[in-house]
A and B are shown apart, each in its own frame.
Chain A
Amino acid sequence: MIKPVLLWTDALVFLLVFIVVAFGFYARRYEHLRAPWREVVRGRIAVASLVVLTFYTVTGLLDSLHYRKALPMQDGQVEVQYAGDVVSVLDGLLGGIATQAEKTYSAPFATTLFTRETVVDENGVQQRIFPRLKYGGAHLKDPLRERAADIAGRSLMAFVQALLFMLALFVLLALLLGRHWNSTVLTTAKRLWHGESGVPWRTFMITVSLLVFLVLLIANLAPVWHVFGTDKVGKDVLYETIKSIRTGLVIGTLTTLIMLPFAVLLGMMAGYFRGWVDDVIQYLYTTLNSIPGVLLIAASVLMMQVYMDTHPELFETMAERADLRLLFLCLILGITSWTGLCRLLRGETLKLRELDYVQAANAFGVSRSVIMVRHLLPNLMHIVLISVVIDFSGLVLAEAVLSYVGVGVDPTTLSWGNMINSARLEMAREPMVWWSLLAAFSFMFTLVLAANLFSDAVRDAFDPRMRR
């Protein structure tokens, strides 16, 4: 028995997914919206980064389906009791990794702890040794000799599985596209193999296979090894990094969701109405802009913290508390970051309102709200889209910086920022503990790089001057 838990951020994430899907259906009907996206998926880099982003998104979404497990029934108990910790579907899929905690630090693929400990052996003799790990490589009798063979064997297994997957994907694509292109499976396969298609399906296939290989690698290795080692309290670093994906995505996307209505509405109103409306809105964003962002965020987050500490009764679980702080961080980031886009949109609206087609609409006696919705908004959408995609990577990085400063997400929330923050101390150790920083860095780097490459492609596709 499980009890589904809908955290605030979960609800908003799914609302966002709904909006994106709805926009997709809306855009399908309009050529001017569909054409640039078709252009986007024709670029190889764009497709590859889109695949990477999709993997991240799916992970994040799986991690957003939360529930509480039922506790085993005690004697005489009538009502089902649920566990206090909220877990997600992703936790379920990751299985053991979440719970396989060691005592303290251990290096990637280590079989022993990173530090010496004094242990008493069977004979009662005290020894300063590196004790064996409880989980990492525990299935091996003689770790020194067997370790390399075991890792190689498991990797090979993953490789073979990935090859099989690639083959299956190839055949499936050939079948599907063959129907679409009206050609036989064989010629379709040939065209695919030589990369002769408008949409770079070969790139798609290779990227998917590569990512699937990585997933399979983790699936094969992670149950018995700590692929990225363990942290100070012995938790698996790989697990922490994967769980951090959701935090990064939530901050990157929800902040935009919060910021967009402000930016679009106020920017458009300031540009179109001019006069005192323009003055008020300009005053608002210049004031907001002149306060240092970090200061504002720190002040709001600390106030929120105090409020939450004094009202513990509001939260049923720790997860809810941490989640609310995450949401609040998104909110405050959104409030401080709408000004840039707003200013951009105001400028563009100032230009648009003087254009002949807006004048023509005026000459027809079309009302102002209709002009805003029909003439201004659609012609601003490309700017909104581009800046949202570009802002995303900036926000993911901002989370890391804020958590490092200590005003980011709740310390109990797994996030790249928190990982980097704790890595600060670990880097000072001798010998150095480098793996949690590396893990956080590589996952964040991949996401931000993919997002940046993708946003480049989107910007180019929407820029009429770049069109070929």
Chain B
Amino acid sequence: MTHTLLEVKDLKVRLGTGDHAVRPVDGVSFRIARGETFALLGESGCGKSMTALSLLRLLPQPAGEITSGSVKLDGEELLALPESGMRNVRGGRIAMIFQEPQTSLNPVMTVGAQISESLALHKGLDGDAARQEVISLLDAVGIPDAARRHNEYPHQLSGGMKQRVMIAMALAGDPDLLIADEPTTALDVTIQAQVLELIAKLQRERGMAVLLITHDLGVVSGMADRVAVMYAGQIIEQAPRDAFYTAPQHPYSQRLFAALPDSSKREQRLTVIPGTVPPLNQVFHACRFAERCDRAWDVCRQTAPDWFAQDDMHGVRCHLADPTLSVPDTSKNVPDSTEQKTTAANEGAGTELLDVRDLQVYFPIQKGLFRRTVGYVRAVDGVSLSIPRGETLALVGESGCGKTTAGKGVLQLLKPTAGSVCFEGTELVDLRGEALRKRRSEFQIIFQDPFSSMNPRMNVGDIIEEGMVAQGIGGDAGKRRQRVDRLLDQVGLRPGHRSRYPHQFSGGQRQRICIARALAVNPKLIICDEPTSALDVSVQAQILNLLKDLQGELGLSYLFITHNLSVVSYLADRVAVMYLGRIVEEGSVSDVLDNAQHPYTQALLSAVPALDRDAQREIIRLEGDLPSPANPPAGCHFHPRCPRAVEVCREAYPPSVQLSEGHSARCHLLGE
């Protein structure tokens, strides 16, 4: 056994006082060896970040308090250190990088100055020596032209660059342990791949230990040596990575894997974990997962399970692992994962519902006193797509590529600059005022953030009724009420929820309400704008199942806007890949995902962290970031980042190349 760097024992944290104090960390113990990557995996609200913050004693004050436990770094008890001693530990021996690079850097200080701050504190460097050190650190985290970047401000850097600067800051103190709290969640897949690779490289070079906090099973698989799964403030399973990925022990871990969407599950419903994480403001007397567990039996609801260690590395907190108990056979509950998808034969399926030709949405850039237009942000620059009835088209791309703008342009929430949007034979772009308002019931939208998509001052009944009232659908008040009840039932909520307010629901439930609201007006097309990206894996599966069921029942068409390729492979019929306002590749799911031709699509696919390390392909590393749509590169927009670019790519935008029936891409390399 290698030398233990950090040892946490029975750590307990309390937020607030009184009966309703929240206990986000409730008896967490783990050990991290030198040079090891230890992943803390869990859904949102299960106490991962609180654990990390309490290691550094940075809990929110005055509410947060570490009530018991011990945190030993190299045998030194951190919880007993005075605050002044703690300051040397923070940054010096344990460094932390946060999820949101946009808000973790001070916008009014240059990058160099922010890194030197830490250097001055922990190494006593200043002046030219500090400058040299900063530049070598920036070099180490792969920032090109480090000497120039030294004097730049955070707003001049892209998201991925900022995260690199954050990492450089963390490295400044030469820490023994790096805590990475969801370091890539706010980044795109291609950037995520870059950052993860960087962390792994630095770890190898410097022999740092890394505590990786994430909710993403894919990220864990690529990075971690050992994995601990957290649920409701406790670690419920701990195992070496390979053991964990081949045979997870805890029912929760098992179901997490089953809930991940991918193409092999297309014909099935996804396994869901019913319900949500229980609120942590209570004292638990039973297993915390029992309510949501399909293998729970009486014991689970009566006593809290102990920690059953199989060996030093391996353990699980579940009654199933208790050798003294005879486990009843409850595995018969599992089969809902093999339940067949309901496929309804829809009338008129296959005929075109929506046909978008050369859609352009430009935002003018205005300058000066008279607001002269000096240029355009070409958010959507000539997008063509079509969706048949009852089918799903996925629009895939990184953030900033214009996919959401395209969705809003289709809905006429933003006036397109040019192009045509033909819905059931009607040209929507030409419709104005009342005529457009009347058609609005036929195409609806579901938003990404379930927290901002409902008016917090209206109750659920009013929210769902709003569209019906505006469109004059659903008859009088009594009939509307019945319809609301039916809709709530349809999306898996109770009619009694009608009089509640949005804040009383969890993220997944809110997304259900949003779906009910969209359904209330009998739409034919629903634009789903990243409807699951704000949700946890287990809840995401519930929503995806619901969307799939509704498509089967009602024959809806979806335009599914997302960056998550595994969702695409599970749900979509056709895929269009967007890059900088244009579609670079389009085709059926199998064509695009299994036989991608465009270099960008290939890079995108390779950057998705795979669960299975052996099957992981060579990551095609993309240099740099998405260029600005206000000033796209000449020629093929992708050529500055393309590993296979040739001379012609710099000169002309490639024409669309038909690769096979229904599969086309825009790339010069495919032409000949």
Instruction: Give, as a whole number of angstroms, the nearest-CB distance from A272 to chain B.
Output: 15
Q: Is the CB of B453 within 8 A of A379?
A: no
- Complex alpha-carbon distance, A359 and B413, angstroms: 7
B663 at the interface (CB under 8 A from A): no
Closest residue of chain A to B449, judged by CB?
A356
A362 at the interface (CB under 8 A from B): yes
Chain A 197-225 near chain B by CB (<8 Å), digits 1 or 0: 00000000000000000000000000000
Which A342-366 residues have C-beta < 8 A from chain B?
Answer: 355-357, 359-366
Q: Is the CB of B455 within 8 A of A365?
A: no
Listed in ascending order, the chain B residues whose CB lies under 8 Å from chain A are 16, 408, 411, 413, 436-438, 440-441, 443-445, 447-449, 452-458, 466-467, 470-471, 501, 514, 517, 521
Closest residue of chain B to A354, judged by CB?
B452
Q: Is the CB of A365 within 8 A of B449?
A: no
The answer, among B408, B441, B448, for a CB contact under 8 Å with A365, is: B441
Which A335-393 residues have C-beta < 8 A from chain B?
Answer: 355-357, 359-367, 370, 374-375, 378-379
Instruction: Give, as a whole number of angstroms, the nearest-CB distance from A222 to chain B.
Output: 47
Q: Is the CB of B471 within 8 A of A364?
A: yes
Chain A 255-277 near chain B by CB (<8 Å), digits 1 or 0: 00000000000000000000000
Q: How many A residues, CB 8 Å from partner?
A: 21
Instruction: Give, as a whole number of angstroms, the nearest-CB distance from B463 to chain A.
Output: 8
A145 at the interface (CB under 8 A from B): no
Which residues of chain A have C-beta atoms less than 8 A from B521's C-beta?
364
Q: Is the CB of B413 within 8 A of A361?
A: no
Quick one: given A357-B452, A359-B445, are A365 and B501 in contact (CB under 8 Å)? Answer: no
- Complex alpha-carbon distance, A160 and B437, angstroms: 73
Which residues of chain A have C-beta atoms less than 8 A from B453's C-beta?
355-357, 360
Q: Is the CB of A360 within 8 A of B447?
A: yes
- Complex alpha-carbon distance, A2 and B75, angstroms: 89
Quick one: given A32-B501, A360-B445, A360-B447, are A365 and B454 in contact (CB under 8 Å)? Answer: no
Which residues of chain B have C-beta atoms less than 8 A from A311's C-beta?
none
Which residues of chain B have C-beta atoms less than 8 A from A122's C-beta?
none
The answer, among B411, B444, B455, B471, for a CB contact under 8 Å with A375, is: B455
A75 at the interface (CB under 8 A from B): no
Which residues of chain B have C-beta atoms less than 8 A from A367's C-beta?
437, 470
The answer, among A32, A363, A374, for a CB contact under 8 Å with B413, is: A363
- Complex alpha-carbon distance, A366 and B470, angstroms: 5
7 other A-B residue contacts (CB within 8 Å) besides A356-B449, A360-B453: A359-B408, A363-B413, A364-B466, A364-B467, A374-B455, A374-B466, A378-B458
Closest residue of chain B to A366, judged by CB?
B470
Which residues of chain A have C-beta atoms less than 8 A from B471's C-beta?
364-365
Quick one: given A32-B457, A367-B470, A378-B457, are A356 and B452 in contact (CB under 8 Å)? Answer: yes
A-B contact pairs, 24 of them (CB 8 A): A31-B501, A32-B501, A356-B449, A356-B452, A357-B454, A360-B447, A360-B517, A361-B466, A363-B413, A363-B444, A363-B445, A364-B444, A364-B466, A364-B471, A365-B438, A365-B440, A365-B441, A365-B471, A367-B437, A367-B470, A370-B470, A374-B455, A378-B455, A379-B456
- Complex alpha-carbon distance, A356 and B452, angstroms: 6
- Complex alpha-carbon distance, A360 and B440, angstroms: 11
Which residues of chain B have C-beta atoms less than 8 A from A31's C-beta?
501
Main secondary structure of the interface of A (DSSP, over half): helix
Q: Is the CB of B16 within 8 A of A468?
A: yes
The answer, among A363, A365, A374, A468, for a CB contact under 8 Å with B458, is: A374
- Complex alpha-carbon distance, A94 and B366, angstroms: 67
- Complex alpha-carbon distance, A230 and B445, angstroms: 73
Q: Is the CB of A355 within 8 A of B413?
A: no
Q: Is the CB of B452 within 8 A of A362?
A: no
- Complex alpha-carbon distance, A378 and B471, angstroms: 23
Which residues of chain B have C-beta atoms less than 8 A from A361's C-beta?
466, 470
Q: Enumerate the 8 nearest inter-chain pairs by beta-carbon distance, A residue then B residue, closest first.
A: A356-B453, A365-B437, A364-B467, A365-B440, A378-B457, A356-B447, A366-B470, A357-B455
- Complex alpha-carbon distance, A379 and B456, angstroms: 8
- Complex alpha-carbon distance, A364 and B452, angstroms: 17
Q: Is the CB of B457 within 8 A of A379?
A: yes
Closest residue of chain B to A355, judged by CB?
B452
Instruction: Give, as a whole number of angstroms, the nearest-CB distance from A325 to chain B.
Output: 41
Which residues of chain B have C-beta atoms less than 8 A from A359's C-beta?
408, 413, 445, 447
Among B411, B441, B466, which residue has the most Cβ atoms of chain A within 10 A? B466
Closest residue of chain B to A364, judged by CB?
B467
Which residues of chain A have C-beta atoms less than 8 A from B456's C-beta?
32, 379
- Complex alpha-carbon distance, A365 and B517, angstroms: 13
Q: Is the CB of B452 within 8 A of A363?
A: no
Which residues of chain B have C-beta atoms less than 8 A from A364's C-beta?
440-441, 444, 466-467, 470-471, 521
Closest residue of chain A to B16, judged by CB?
A468
Which residues of chain A have C-beta atoms less than 8 A from B438's C-beta?
365
Q: Is the CB of B455 within 8 A of A363?
A: no
- Complex alpha-carbon distance, A192 and B43, angstroms: 45
Instruction: Give, as a whole number of angstroms, the nearest-CB distance from B438 to chain A.
Output: 7
- Complex alpha-carbon distance, A367 and B449, angstroms: 24
- Complex alpha-carbon distance, A363 and B455, angstroms: 14
Which residues of chain B have C-beta atoms less than 8 A from A360's C-beta?
445, 447, 453-454, 514, 517
Among A355, A362, A365, A370, which residue has the most Cβ atoms of chain B within 10 A? A365
Closest residue of chain A to B517, judged by CB?
A360
Which residues of chain A have C-beta atoms less than 8 A from B444's C-beta?
363-364
Which residues of chain B have C-beta atoms less than 8 A from A378's C-beta?
455, 457-458
Closest residue of chain B to A30, judged by CB?
B457
- Complex alpha-carbon distance, A365 and B457, angstroms: 20
- Complex alpha-carbon distance, A356 and B501, angstroms: 17
Instruction: Give, as a whole number of angstroms, the nearest-CB distance from A248 to chain B.
Output: 34
- Complex alpha-carbon distance, A325 and B456, angstroms: 43
Closest residue of chain B to A35, judged by CB?
B501
Instruction: Give, as a whole number of angstroms, the nearest-CB distance from A429 to chain B.
Output: 52
Closest residue of chain B to A468, judged by CB?
B16
- Complex alpha-carbon distance, A419 and B453, angstroms: 55
- Complex alpha-carbon distance, A31 and B438, angstroms: 34
- Complex alpha-carbon distance, A321 and B1, angstroms: 94
Instruction: Give, as a whole number of angstroms, the nearest-CB distance from B513 to chain A.
Output: 11
Quick one: given A357-B455, A378-B455, A378-B457, are A363 and B440 in contact (CB under 8 Å)? Answer: yes
- Complex alpha-carbon distance, A338 and B412, angstroms: 36
- Complex alpha-carbon distance, A360 and B518, angstroms: 9
- Complex alpha-carbon distance, A364 and B16, angstroms: 42
Closest residue of chain B to A363, judged by CB?
B445
Instruction: Give, as a whole number of angstroms, the nearest-CB distance from A411 to chain B.
Output: 47
Instruction: Give, as a whole number of angstroms, the nearest-CB distance from B450 to chain A.
Output: 9
- Complex alpha-carbon distance, A361 and B408, angstroms: 13
Which residues of chain A have C-beta atoms less than 8 A from B452's C-beta?
355-357
- Complex alpha-carbon distance, A387 and B62, angstroms: 28
- Complex alpha-carbon distance, A378 and B459, angstroms: 13
Which residues of chain A have C-beta atoms less than 8 A from B16's C-beta?
468
Which A441-468 residues have C-beta < 8 A from chain B?
Answer: 468
Among B16, B411, B443, B467, which residue has the most Cβ atoms of chain A within 10 A? B467
Closest residue of chain A to B436, judged by CB?
A365
- Complex alpha-carbon distance, A364 and B518, angstroms: 9
Which residues of chain A have C-beta atoms less than 8 A from B408's C-beta?
359
- Complex alpha-carbon distance, A31 and B470, angstroms: 25
- Complex alpha-carbon distance, A30 and B453, angstroms: 20
- Complex alpha-carbon distance, A379 and B502, angstroms: 14
- Complex alpha-carbon distance, A374 and B454, angstroms: 12
Q: Is the CB of A379 within 8 A of B455?
A: yes
Among A32, A361, A363, which residue has the most Cβ atoms of chain B within 10 A? A363
Instruction: Give, as a whole number of angstroms, the nearest-CB distance from A376 to chain B.
Output: 9
Closest residue of chain A to B439, judged by CB?
A365
- Complex alpha-carbon distance, A362 and B436, angstroms: 11
- Complex alpha-carbon distance, A379 and B438, angstroms: 27
- Complex alpha-carbon distance, A365 and B444, angstroms: 10
Closest residue of chain A to B472, judged by CB?
A365
- Complex alpha-carbon distance, A366 and B454, angstroms: 15
Which residues of chain A have C-beta atoms less than 8 A from B466's C-beta?
361, 364, 366, 374
Which residues of chain B have C-beta atoms less than 8 A from A362's C-beta?
413
Chain A 283-307 near chain B by CB (<8 Å), digits 1 or 0: 0000000000000000000000000
Which residues of chain A have C-beta atoms less than 8 A from B445's C-beta?
359-360, 363
